[in-house]
């Protein structure tokens, strides 16, 4: 509840509330605020107000600092508080305050705020966001491709979600599918076996596997680790490896089918605005781009082609939209991936050439999303696993309680590094698993009890994972020198 001006006591010592941090000309919140401030995580301030905040050192009272109108507004909003109201981060899981409906808590997500009903923002905003599906066009049916040998392509990791999408496209829709796999040091053994089993059992899919030279890959991973604290960049590598093949083969659709909760992660991680999920906004953006293309005598983008092009262009050239710690929305992940890849000129050149060529020709696959919840009648994890085991020979994780990110052998390391960096306010990336698990429980994809079991037994939120030192070992010799 907002404070009244009369409650501001000049004799008290005031400080910037925990989880707020000055970033150049803004203050940024490291957490998820309750409504109506859920997406108001960055506040621009004048230099004078920033100087005032610097004087709130926990010793001087407000009267000696001087409370300007701007400082009083921050007090009324609860951003600047009396020192006795300063909140400390929870030190362990036992201290955590949980959402009454899901697994969201303020240990795994430091700075998480619950509303007066005990609901986290993900649960409180369920109805408001229920019709949002993806930042790209959503389809569940695809026409035959009369120009080439494949109707659709997908990035196939051998994990739960991509295996179910492969099953749906091949066995349910009967499409000719190009399944694209990339071999890394971190693919889980069960995912590797699942890919080979699918190759034998699914008849109308061509499964293509590519790998990168080990030393090149280690240099890329080392750069990414220096920037992001982890090596999680596999989806980006898939675009680099396979985009030239997609354009050469004239595959009309590149189909994504992520765990439904992963799409909402883009919203609550402040990577994408809610508006970008709305088809009319997507179509308006495409209309404006197409005016420019028509003026320059280029073929206009179809639905989904614009999303493909700007995805690959960002990986090839970077993005001017990235904001280092400032602004309402941020995508430091994409920025870090671009920086990690940029120096590998020989490796990146075929991809960059293909991106440049596709801009001229308009030969671009449409990036589209299949709503797995819709096509499966709810995407309940236990039922999905049974289907893909039966139909594709899918092999479950060595940890059968695991439902998220089953294709990676070092997923704990990503969770550990995302959690520690966010807790220490060195990164604005809220741990993906913390958000995704909460939304999966909220939507009934997994029970709260099963989700809690997975969190406690199969995630990296509580200690440095055993795999962490082994993951770092091959990177050390390739780590860039720090200035």
**Shared-domain flag, residues 300 and 363:** yes
Peptide bond between residue 36 and the one before it cis (omega within 30 degrees of 0): yes
Q: Is the pLDDT of residue 325 over 70?
A: no
**Contact in structure between 301 and 163 (CB atoms under 8 Å):** no
**Shared-domain flag, residues 59 and 183:** no
Tens of pLDDT, residue by residue over 396-425, are: 988 877 888 889 889 999 999 999 999 999
**Shared-domain flag, residues 154 and 206:** yes
Residue 471, pLDDT score: 86
Instruction: Write down how long the chain is.
Output: 483
pTM exceeding 0.95: no
The range of the structural domain enclosing residue 56 comes to: 5-85
* Tokens representing residue 381 in the block: 């994890």
Domain ends where: 31, 66, 85?
85
* Tokens representing residue 138 in the block: 């959503």
**Shared-domain flag, residues 198 and 76:** no
Number of domains in the chain: 3
What are the start-end ranges of the H helices in 202-278? 214-228, 234-248, 260-268
* Local structure of 306: helix, strand or coil: helix
Say what the alpha-carbon torsion angle 282, 283, 288, 289 is, to the nearest 10 degrees: 70
**Shared-domain flag, residues 239 and 315:** yes
Q: Is the pLDDT of residue 434 over 90?
A: yes
Closest-CA residue to 152 (of 8, 230, 229, 251): 251
What are the start-end ranges of the H helices in 274-410? 279-295, 305-317, 332-342, 345-361, 372-376, 381-392
Query: What is the arithmetic mean of pLDDT over 466-470?
Result: 88
Lowest-confidence pick of 20-29, 175-184, 256-265, 470-479: 470-479
Angle, CA 109 vertex, CA 106 and CA 111 arms, to 5°: 65
Residue 13, pLDDT score: 96
Q: Which residue has the tokens 């005990």?
A: 118
Query: What is the arithmetic mean of pLDDT over 292-316?
Result: 92
Exposed, middle or buried: residue 329 (CB in 10 Å: 0-12, 13-18, 19+)?
A: middle
Say what the alpha-carbon torsion angle 405, 410, 411, 415 is, to the nearest 10 degrees: -170
**Shared-domain flag, residues 451 and 323:** yes
Residue 475, pLDDT score: 81
**Shared-domain flag, residues 253 and 224:** yes
Q: Report the 10 Å Cβ neighbour count for 439.
A: 26
**Shared-domain flag, residues 244 and 115:** no
Q: Is the pLDDT of residue 482 over 80?
A: no
Q: Is the pLDDT of residue 44 over 50?
A: yes
**Shared-domain flag, residues 168 and 225:** yes
Exposed, middle or buried: residue 482 (CB in 10 Å: 0-12, 13-18, 19+)?
A: exposed
Taking each continuous run of H as one helix and of E as one strand, the counts in the chain are: 20, 10
Residue 333, pLDDT score: 81
* Tokens representing residue 143 in the block: 């026409």
Tens of pLDDT, residue by residue over 253-303, are: 999 988 888 889 999 998 888 998 999 999 999 999 999 999 988 999 999
Q: Report the 10 Å Cβ neighbour count for 271.
A: 19
How large a percentage of the chain has pLDDT more than 70? 95
What are the start-end ranges of the H helices in 106-213? 121-124, 126-129, 160-167, 189-201
Residue 5, pLDDT score: 47
Distance, CA of 118 to chain centre = 25
CA distance to 243, 341, 352, per residue, from 349 (Å): 12, 11, 5
Exposed, middle or buried: residue 454 (CB in 10 Å: 0-12, 13-18, 19+)?
A: buried
Greatest C-alpha distance within the chain: 77
Confidence of residue 3 (pLDDT cuts 50, 70, 90): very low
Strands of the sheet with 42-44, listed across from one edge = 20-23, 26-29, 42-44
Query: What is the arithmetic mean of pLDDT over 458-476?
Result: 88
**Contact in structure between 181 and 158 (CB atoms under 8 Å):** yes
Lowest-confidence pick of 319-333, 398-412, 441-455: 319-333
**Shared-domain flag, residues 252 and 277:** yes
Report which of residues 480 and 212 the model is more confident about: 212
Tens of pLDDT, residue by residue over 176-208, are: 999 999 988 889 999 999 999 999 999 899 999
**Contact in structure between 227 and 336 (CB atoms under 8 Å):** yes
- CA dist 442 and 435 (Å) reads 11
**Shared-domain flag, residues 77 and 34:** yes
How large a percentage of the chain has pLDDT more than 90? 76
Residue 401, pLDDT score: 78
The mean pLDDT of the chain is 91
Confidence of residue 1 (pLDDT cuts 50, 70, 90): very low
Confidence of residue 473 (pLDDT cuts 50, 70, 90): confident
Confidence of residue 479 (pLDDT cuts 50, 70, 90): low
Q: Is the pLDDT of residue 483 over 70?
A: no
* Tokens representing residue 106 in the block: 């303020």
**Between β-strands 152-155 and 205-211, what pairing exists: parallel, antiparallel or unpaired?**
unpaired
Report which of residues 327 and 348 the model is more confident about: 348
Residue 378, pLDDT score: 93
- The contacts of residue 298 (CB under 8 Å, 6+ apart) are 359, 360, 362
* Tokens representing residue 342 in the block: 């940029």
Tens of pLDDT, residue by residue over 60-102, are: 999 999 989 999 999 999 999 999 999 999 999 999 999 999 9
Distance, CA of 404 to chain centre = 13
**Shared-domain flag, residues 42 and 100:** no
CA distance to 95, 382, 384, per residue, from 192 (Å): 39, 21, 19
Residue 233, pLDDT score: 87
Tens of pLDDT, residue by residue over 112-161, are: 999 999 999 999 999 999 888 898 999 999 999 998 999 999 999 999 99
From its phi and psi, is residue 46 left (phi > 0), alpha (psi between -120 and 50) or beta?
A: beta
Residue 458, pLDDT score: 92
Q: Is the pLDDT of residue 38 over 50?
A: yes
- The contacts of residue 281 (CB under 8 Å, 6+ apart) are 275
Q: Is the pLDDT of residue 447 over 70?
A: yes
Lowest-confidence pick of 40-49, 324-333, 338-347: 324-333
């Amino acid at each position: 509840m907002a404070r009244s001006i009369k409650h501001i006591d000049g004799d008290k010592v005031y400080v910037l509330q925990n989880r707020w941090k000055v970033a150049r000309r803004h203050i940024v919140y490291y957490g998820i605020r309750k409504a109506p401030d859920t997406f108001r995580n960055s506040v621009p301030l004048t230099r004078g107000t920033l100087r005032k905040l610097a004087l709130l050192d926990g010793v001087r009272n407000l009267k000696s600092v001087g409370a300007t109108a701007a400082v009083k507004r921050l007090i009324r909003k609860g951003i600047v508080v009396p020192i006795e109201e300063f909140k400390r981060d929870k030190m362990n899981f036992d201290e955590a305050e949980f959402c009454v409906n899901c697994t969201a808590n303020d240990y795994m997500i430091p700075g998480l705020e619950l509303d007066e009903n005990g609901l986290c923002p993900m649960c409180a905003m369920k109805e408001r966001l229920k019709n949002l599906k993806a930042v790209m066009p959503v389809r569940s049916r695809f026409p035959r491709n009369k120009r080439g040998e494949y109707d659709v392509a997908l990035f196939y990791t051998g994990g739960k979600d991509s295996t179910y999408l492969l099953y749906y496209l091949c066995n349910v829709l009967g499409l000719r599918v190009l399944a694209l796999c990339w071999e890394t040091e971190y693919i889980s053994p069960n995912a590797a076996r699942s890919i080979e089993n699918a190759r034998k059992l699914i008849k109308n899919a061509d499964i293509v596997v590519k790998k990168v030279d080990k030393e090149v890959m280690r240099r890329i991973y080392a750069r990414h680790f220096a920037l992001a604290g982890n090596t999680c960049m596999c989806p980006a590598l898939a675009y680099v490896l396979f985009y030239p093949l997609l354009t050469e083969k004239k595959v009309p659709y590149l189909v994504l089918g992520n765990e439904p909760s992963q799409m909402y992660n883009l919203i609550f991680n402040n990577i994408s605005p809610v508006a970008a999920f709305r088809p009319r906004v997507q179509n308006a953006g495409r209309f404006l781009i197409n005016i420019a293309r028509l003026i320059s005598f280029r073929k206009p983008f179809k639905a989904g082609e614009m999303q493909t092009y700007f995805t690959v262009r960002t990986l090839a050239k970077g993005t001017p939209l990235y904001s280092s710690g400032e602004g309402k929305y941020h995508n430091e992940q994409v920025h870090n991936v671009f920086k990690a890849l940029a120096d590998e000129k020989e490796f990146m050149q075929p991809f960059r050439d293909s991106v440049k060529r596709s801009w001229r020709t308009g030969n671009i696959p449409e990036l589209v999303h299949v709503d797995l919840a819709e096509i499966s009648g709810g995407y309940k994890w236990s039922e999905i696993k049974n289907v893909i085991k039966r139909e594709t020979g899918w092999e479950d994780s060595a940890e059968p309680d695991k439902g998220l990110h089953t294709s990676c052998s070092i997923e704990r390391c990503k969770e550990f590094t995302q959690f520690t960096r966010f807790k220490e306010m060195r990164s604005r990336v809220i741990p993906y698993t913390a958000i995704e698990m909460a939304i999966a429980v909220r939507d009934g994809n997994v029970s709260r009890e099963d989700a809690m079991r997975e969190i406690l037994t199969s995630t990296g939120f509580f200690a440095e994972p055993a795999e962490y030192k082994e993951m770092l070992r091959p990177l050390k010799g390739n780590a860039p020198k720090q200035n």
